[in-house]
Structure 1
Amino acid sequence: MTAPTDSDESLVPAASVASERRRAPRARRIPRSREQQARLDAREPAFEPLPFALDEAAARRPFADKLREWFEARRWQPFDFQRDVWAEIGQGASGLLHATTGAGKTWAVWFGALGAFATAEPSSRKRTARTHPEPLTVLWITPMRALAADTARALQSSAAELAVPWSVGLRTGDTSSAERARQNRRMPSALVTTPESLTLILTRPDAREVLSHVRLVIVDEWHELLGNKRGTQTQLALARLAHWHPELQVWGLSATLGNLPFAADVLLAPVKTPRVSVHGALPKALIVDTVIPDTIERFPWGGHMGMRQVGAVADAIGEAQTSLVFTNTRSQCEVWYQALLEARPEWAGLIALHHGSLDQEVREWVERGLKNGLLKVVVCTSSLDLGVDFLPVERVFQIGSPKGVARLMQRAGRSGHAPGRPSRVTIVPTHALELVEAAAAREAVDKRQIEGRETPEKPFDVLVQHLVTVAIGGGFDARELYAEIRGTYAYRQLTQAEFDWALGFVEGGGTSLRAYPDYHRVVRESDGLYRVPREDLVRRHRNNIGTIVANGTLNVAYLSGGRIGAIEESFISRLKTGDIFTFGGRALELIRVQDMTAWVRRATTSRGAMPQWAGSRMPLSSELADATLTMLARAADGIFDEPEMRAVRPLLELQQKWSALPEPGVLVVELVKSREGHHFFCYPFAGRTAHIGLGALLAWRVAREKPGTFSISMNDYGFELLSAQPFDWAAQLQGGLLSPDELEHDILASLNSSELSMRRFREIARVSGLVFQGHAGQQKSARQLQASSGLFYEIFRQHDRDNLLLNQADDEVLLQELDAQRMRRALERMNASRVVVTRPKKPTPFAFPLIVGRLREKVSTEKLADRVERMLAELEKAART
């Protein structure tokens, strides 16, 4: 049997709940043929709630009979795990359902809900099934608003086919004002929504009444929320509902989680109903293979090899009905779209681009084209990682390393999205060492070595926002709310003093903002409840709800009309009028920047600067890094039993000849002297983010005894420290250079921690409501927001040192930006490893990409290519001697 959806979506960068109140301008559509246009004109429309009408005789039939007939009509058989979920929901339990993508998780919880609640006694109010369906009973929370319509459509159609007297609604940032008004008059029986939109409902003065009949909350793709503040926001909303309804049931759905007990504990902490875990152990063939280049240099450098594979990838795409080509960054997505279109110009109109910066209408057009089998290939980012059911997709390609086992499995699941159908993902390496990663990823998938997810601990910005939300939504008693919030996993260790500080902050602005009425956001009224005293503060808070904080973006729109999408403000700021840049698969000429919009027109040339998006590089996960080291250990023993390893064998053998291969328990350090200076290369395989901190940390520790200046380069495998003067690195390593003692102190001392904290504080200030983004259509620029948050940061530093938001900024720098926990684990492992110090005469194959990465930051692309070519010729000559 097939599951129509396990709905998710990409996080649109400019997403905030302020967008719930506006409709985006119409976007210019992707060019297509008349035949395609005719087929798309007959496409399935966007989700619209059906007029409610039902045959009451059919509605009175036993649900079990109708469900059995529904399955038989499709020649399906329910799986055991689905029956288990139906039974558990019927018995009042909450739980976490973990099953492979496309296994039918949606039907498991939805039919459980219909079986348990659609057959219950009708409410006491006078109604008929035909005109008055059941009140709001089920909340379905999805992380992704753009694809939530697919879920709502599946729930609605199945309820109608089963003659169940339920209506289904959709409420996200894309829901029309007319539909929201209709819901405000009467909520549907089941509502598909997002954490932000649910929080907005909680700000209604009658929120408790509106949600008074909710019996079940389903959190789809829980792993996507677990590790971030949107998950914390969800926990607080569940705690509010559980406070109102002690019998509330909550079910989470996930396909890729490594720490299931922990994930269940976080989700179900507020609920009081019995808890269970259900595993859908279904046989699912997952094929992981690799496009292996014809030639592989022994001295690789990052990114250069991928574009050589365009022809091979295009040939493989041609053999499948429909394919998805996943990239790790939006810039790479744009590049590959152009390259494939140039390689196969006959695919014009059959190839599309999909990433979170493109306009909603463009993305929806692409999604419909995929569902209806109208597109041959879509080049995309994580915007299509999750949720929607694209049955025509047969092949998935991953450009470059997937960086994680869970991500690879999730993307592979976009193909063969049905039980019994194999999923296939083909890795396209952009770097020779990614061949080793590809072999390691396949083995990790076979062993199901899936990454776990951590969750934020006591984020005070989310707590401050929630206090104002609840104050608007009917008010709160401080003592009761403290107990309610402590019921969540995120705030289980919240002290009374911390809660009192947060309450005082929203009540009076804290120590330094007492003189400003706008920061007196709640007041205690005569009945003892805290409420928001002014309507303008209510409007401001509702426009600021949410925890998605985007990098500053500008709309991109044609002078002639039509919005294309949103792009980083920092990128546009480097362009001048008349410059050409590539975006949305087309070359655009910048005309002017005005009203937070980059106005453009189509350029006559086909080439332009490629936008760069902040935060686009994902670090290698610990699980995949460990699997890669295991592969290298086999190579060190002369075992090359995977096709990828055989292809990269000359490179690895040269690395071992000139230096050594990193292995589990073996840390390789290379000391090289060149015309540039003295190089220290180290290969912990801890991921790019941890290597940034490790490089700065070791440089700072060494320079304490002997002053020196270092250039730092890093990738997922290791880092380089380059200095003009020599250091006795061997003695330093023996003297405790790798000790994890005093790590946090040394990290903050080795970096410009104040600058990092100030940057982090910008996000915290926005979430906590200190900085207002602006009303719909009047958003402030990133520069304005940064200036405002920076002012608060300095005021708090000077006059309110005990402000918990400042402490949170410091903690988030350590935990998120520098990944201090992973740095500590890496240092502990490095300190316990056998350190192999080598002194090769030339940079080794592992060192070469680090050198190129450093040079890339200093010279133009043309000069870099020339310099790399000269270096390669010199190294290959040395390798042949």
Structure 2
Amino acid sequence: MTGPAIPPEIQTWFAGRGWRVRRHQAEMLAADDDGHHALLVADTGAGKTLAGFLPTLAAFTPSRLGDAPLPEGLHTLYVSPLKALAHDVQRNLLTPITEMGLPITVETRSGDTPSDRKARQRARPPHVLLTTPESLSLLLSYPESAQLFATVQRVVIDEVHAFATSKRGDLLALALTRLQALAPDLRRAALSATLADPEAFRGWLAPWGDLDSTVLVEGEAGAPAEVEILLPDDGQRVPWGGHAAAWALPQLYEAIRRNRTTLVFTNTRFLAEYIFQLLWDANEDKLPIGIHHGSLSKEARRKVEGAMARGELRALVCTASLDLGVDWGDIDMVVQMGAPKGSSRLLQRIGRANHRLDQPSRAMLVPGNRFEFLEAMAALDAVNEGQRDGEDFRPGGLDVLAQHVMAIACAGPFGEAALLAEVRSSMAYSWVDEAGWSRVLNFVATGGYSLRAYDRFQRIVRLKDGTWRLTHPQQAARHRLNAGIIVDSEMLEVRFRNGRSLGKVEENFGAGLKPGDTFRFAGMDLEVEGVRDLELIVRGAKKAGQIPSYNGARLPLTTHLSARVQAMLADRAGWARFPDDVREWLEVQDWRSRLPAPGELLVESFPHGGRAYTVYYTFEGWNANQSLGMLVTRRMEDAGLGPMGFVANDYALGVWGLRPVKDPAALLSPDILSHEFVEWVQNSYLLRRAFREVAVISGLVERQQPGARKSGRQVTFSTDLIYDVLRKHEPDHLLIEAAWADARARMTDVGRLGALLDRTAAELVHVELDRVTPLAVPLMVMIGREFVPTGSADDELLLEAESLAAAAMRPA
């Protein structure tokens, strides 16, 4: 890369701050100057965002401009996965612009942006627009989009690992193809700290078939992180069960007191509320402690983000809503409550501390139970060895493609062949052939064969000259009201009587409340006054017990960490670094039964409480184990074994029944996926839920209408009716296919499940015992509590764990 030198204005600004332009920052500028797309992989704190924007800043410097006029119109698009990240970048980007005196205007655009500002941005855009994939797709749906984006020189995609492999990544990939068609000289840049396979992401970023146009830039190495795993003190033991890690609250509070600012990560919104409440109850010093998660109102989130930026909080309890790139340099410790589930996720969260390349980030991992201790050790080892993990790319979703086609039609008539060529220029949709393309167009035009008689499904029409256009201008307004990729459970707005919003709880939770009921939300105790439309009216309460639970996606244990945990179990010499109680747990298990070796499926059978139990140590994650439990119990029923229930965690599946399992291999034959699995998915809520999501994303079913929003029950009722019609009359419908793809891949981890079943015949080891084993105790204590919100039954769980552990650990 041999682009022009770094402008002196930028060199002077760096020097004035005591910084130097790092190699990877200079290489990103050179790549842009040479007309290349670029993927930057650099450690957190390496100045990735500034590296991504350096070519934009350089384009506006007097030394580069010379006598040329100032660039007009939209110059750079910055796309991020989170609204919070976009606002944080705006704050940090304005500093160099102001201090260098550059004539660059910067604005954000997301779902929170007022409608009048959105309209003004389309007519008079800033030079730099910070946005999300969904807002970018909506911008492309306006007739003026061709003029708006014709001036764009660059697109910067931050934290690309967070969405490139998901449907949001599909939507962004399609938006990039349209942008490239509107601005052929557009350069793409993507940034990340945590890519397991940079070459795969380089292929995603590049126009399909033109990999050489995209360079990989690797950042300078940073200081190694300082990470510790918190263990119980005062002679206490690592807990047998639970994953709230509530046992650590006294030590966590002391860490918060010792540090200037602490960021406390949890894996779910429920746990964020729960841990925050425990901290608040222990807060004898009245320290300013905040909470942040995606279900809080925009005002609440902005207030907390501003307080953190100003250094006014001593601690902030949060979820993945703050995983990515938020640059608060004064955070001096990050705490991960519970297992991290992946080395990349852990690295990302650790990087929120100090956020400087030359200073080590400090972090503390707090395992909830003994398996989570092993997982924390495995994740820590992976981070120290520089090993990353992440999701694999898969073919782009048909429902997303249908939404994109509708967005393009809203912008104006399009040619069938030309748009197909655009779509196929992305890696995600390079597989689409003409027959598949015709199916997509036919679906958008009529809803499919079984629905074409209904006018409301007819959205576009083909003209005699081969172009397509909207059937009516109102279709554009309907599309913009309903477009989007994130299909959460339907929510109820939580408001005080004066109209102040606190955020949202899921409809299923809110519908079960009546006036006088109390609950904890947004760090407050609330009493229900009433339900009005889709709003939950509340007032302050003196004390409340329950915390809203959410049906969000469960963070999966990555295959990489799973393999590491199994290797640790086999490495007996390595047990010396474990605390005594964990080492004893494994030693007694090894003596009483055996430990699951890498490449082996251990199955234990034993009686307990008058029932016959079988535990399968799969290490394939909760989703796969949950699905396996449903399938195995069906086969047990057919075999007359009287199954009574099952429970799953990331590491194992436990099934119990009236009669013992003598031949587990027969229950796990690979044909279970082609027989019981297909029948189970077709007749379970899984496929219906998947269909609901793809029907909403594709635009077949609308959540929002002018002046009104459908409730979750109304949307489900509509999608269930359509699903039943299509299954009966058009089982090969485009959306049935899309729903199957979702149900198989995302909801059941069928890939991991299939690989497990394929290995079973050669790897299965069955051990029959006379009582519960130490390794089974963390799973056994979950029985009867798998649907109880974690944390609310901790005391009772610990008592039962001690009873089970005594039986498992005592000599024969």
Q: How does 1:774-813 map to 2 (within 5 A)?
A: 774-775=704-705, 778-813=708-743
How far apart in 1 are the matches of 2:109 and 2:787?
48
- Residue 54 of structure 1 corresponds to none
Could you tell me how far 1:694 is from its partner in structure 2?
2.1
How far apart in 2 are the matches of 1:118 and 1:532?
44
Q: Secondary structure at the match of 1:856?
A: coil
AA matched with 1:168: V
AA matched with 2:696: R
TM-score, length of structure 2 as denominator length: 0.94
Could you tell me how far 1:800 is from its partner in structure 2?
2.1
- Asked if 1:855 corresponds to 2:795, the answer is no
Q: Secondary structure at the match of 1:242?
A: helix
How far apart in 2 are the matches of 1:198 and 1:858?
39
- Residue 653 of structure 2 corresponds to 719
Percent of pairs with identical residues: 36
Could you tell me how far 1:754 is from its partner in structure 2?
4.5
Could you tell me how far 1:115 is from its partner in structure 2?
2.7
AA matched with 1:480: A
Among 572, 576, 591, the alignment partner of 1:641 is 576
- Residue 330 of structure 1 corresponds to 269
Change (3 A) 1:580 1:862: closer
Deviations 1:247-278 (A, max 9, x none): 22111111111011111111223595721101
Select between 415-424 and 231-240 the one with higher mean Cα deviation. Answer: 415-424
How far apart in 1 are the matches of 2:56 and 2:784?
58
- Residue 631 of structure 1 corresponds to 568
Deviations 1:567-611 (A, max 9, x none): 01111122222111111111111111111001111112x232111
Deviations 1:92-119 (A, max 9, x none): 0002111111111112121123335767
Select between 560-569 and 843-852 the one with higher mean Cα deviation. Answer: 843-852
- Residue 655 of structure 1 corresponds to 589
- Residue 845 of structure 1 corresponds to 774
Q: Secondary structure at the match of 1:588?
A: strand
Q: How does 1:503-522 map to 2 (within 5 A)?
A: 503-522=441-460
AA matched with 1:763: E
Instruction: Judge conservation of contact 1:855–1:864 (CA < 8 Å) in 2.
Output: no
Instruction: Judge conservation of contact 1:323–1:377 (CA < 8 Å) in 2.
Output: yes
- Residue 243 of structure 2 corresponds to 303
- Asked if 1:677 corresponds to 2:617, the answer is no
- Asked if 1:698 corresponds to 2:632, the answer is yes
Kindly indicate whether structure 1 or structure 2 has the higher relative contact order, using CA contacts under 8 Å at least 6 residues apart: 1
Instruction: Judge conservation of contact 2:237–2:581 (CA < 8 Å) in 1.
Output: no
- Residue 43 of structure 1 corresponds to none
Instruction: Judge conservation of contact 1:465–1:768 (CA < 8 Å) in 2.
Output: yes
Q: How does 1:589-608 map to 2 (within 5 A)?
A: 589-604=527-542, 606-608=543-545
Select between 365-374 and 863-872 the one with higher mean Cα deviation. Answer: 863-872
Deviations 1:534-581 (A, max 9, x none): 232111101111111111110000123311100011111222221111
Could you tell me how far 1:741 is from its partner in structure 2?
4.8
Q: How does 1:23-38 map to 2 (within 5 A)?
A: none
Change (3 A) 1:660 1:189: same
- Asked if 1:320 corresponds to 2:259, the answer is yes
Could you tell me how far 1:326 is from its partner in structure 2?
0.6
AA matched with 1:276: V
What are the ranges of 5 or more consecutive residues in structure 1 without an aligned counterpart? 1-60
Change (3 A) 1:867 1:801: closer
How far apart in 2 are the matches of 1:340 and 1:862?
15
Among 136, 152, 172, the alignment partner of 2:110 is 172
Deviations 1:7-27 (A, max 9, x none): xxxxxxxxxxxxxxxxxxxxx
Could you tell me how far 1:871 is from its partner in structure 2?
6.7
How far apart in 2 are the matches of 1:86 and 1:271?
24
Deviations 1:260-314 (A, max 9, x none): 111111122359572110110313221221110134558812237x222111111
Among 220, 223, 230, the alignment partner of 2:158 is 220
- Residue 83 of structure 2 corresponds to 145
Instruction: Judge conservation of contact 1:323–1:397 (CA < 8 Å) in 2.
Output: yes
Change (3 A) 1:863 1:311: closer
Could you tell me how far 1:830 is from its partner in structure 2?
4.2
Instruction: Judge conservation of contact 1:296–1:432 (CA < 8 Å) in 2.
Output: no
AA matched with 1:154: N
Among 432, 436, 439, the alignment partner of 1:498 is 436
Deviations 1:788-828 (A, max 9, x none): 11111112112222211111111211111001111122334
Select between 705-714 and 144-153 the one with higher mean Cα deviation. Answer: 705-714
- Residue 836 of structure 1 corresponds to 765
How far apart in 1 are the matches of 2:794 and 2:682?
29
Instruction: Judge conservation of contact 1:298–1:845 (CA < 8 Å) in 2.
Output: no
Could you tell me how far 1:695 is from its partner in structure 2?
2.4
- Asked if 1:773 corresponds to 2:708, the answer is no
Instruction: Judge conservation of contact 1:298–1:651 (CA < 8 Å) in 2.
Output: no
Among 755, 779, 783, the alignment partner of 1:825 is 755
AA matched with 1:241: L
Deviations 1:440-496 (A, max 9, x none): 111111122211322342311111111111011122100111111111112111121
Could you tell me how far 1:876 is from its partner in structure 2?
1.7
Deviations 1:323-345 (A, max 9, x none): 01111111111111111111123
Q: Secondary structure at the match of 1:346?
A: coil
Select between 165-174 and 865-874 the one with higher mean Cα deviation. Answer: 865-874
Deviations 1:513-551 (A, max 9, x none): 222222221123465431213232111101111111111
Instruction: Judge conservation of contact 2:9–2:61 (CA < 8 Å) in 1.
Output: no
AA matched with 1:143: P
Q: How does 1:261-272 map to 2 (within 5 A)?
A: 261-270=199-208
AA matched with 2:88: D
Instruction: Judge conservation of contact 2:772–2:807 (CA < 8 Å) in 1.
Output: no
Among 112, 118, 131, the alignment partner of 1:193 is 131
Instruction: Judge conservation of contact 1:357–1:565 (CA < 8 Å) in 2.
Output: yes
Q: Secondary structure at the match of 1:613?
A: coil
- Asked if 1:869 corresponds to 2:802, the answer is no
What are the ranges of 5 or more consecutive residues in structure 2 without an aligned counterpart? none
Change (3 A) 1:303 1:863: closer
- Asked if 1:99 corresponds to 2:42, the answer is yes
Deviations 1:381-423 (A, max 9, x none): 1111112111110001111101111111111001010121111
Change (3 A) 1:376 1:780: same
Among 304, 319, 322, the alignment partner of 1:384 is 322
Task: Count residues with an aligned counterpart.
Answer: 805
Change (3 A) 1:528 1:514: same
Q: How does 1:29-428 map to 2 (within 5 A)?
A: 64-116=7-59, 129=70, 134-270=72-208, 274-294=213-233, 295=235, 300-303=240-243, 306-348=245-287, 350-428=288-366
- Residue 486 of structure 1 corresponds to 424
Instruction: Judge conservation of contact 1:439–1:645 (CA < 8 Å) in 2.
Output: no
- Residue 4 of structure 1 corresponds to none
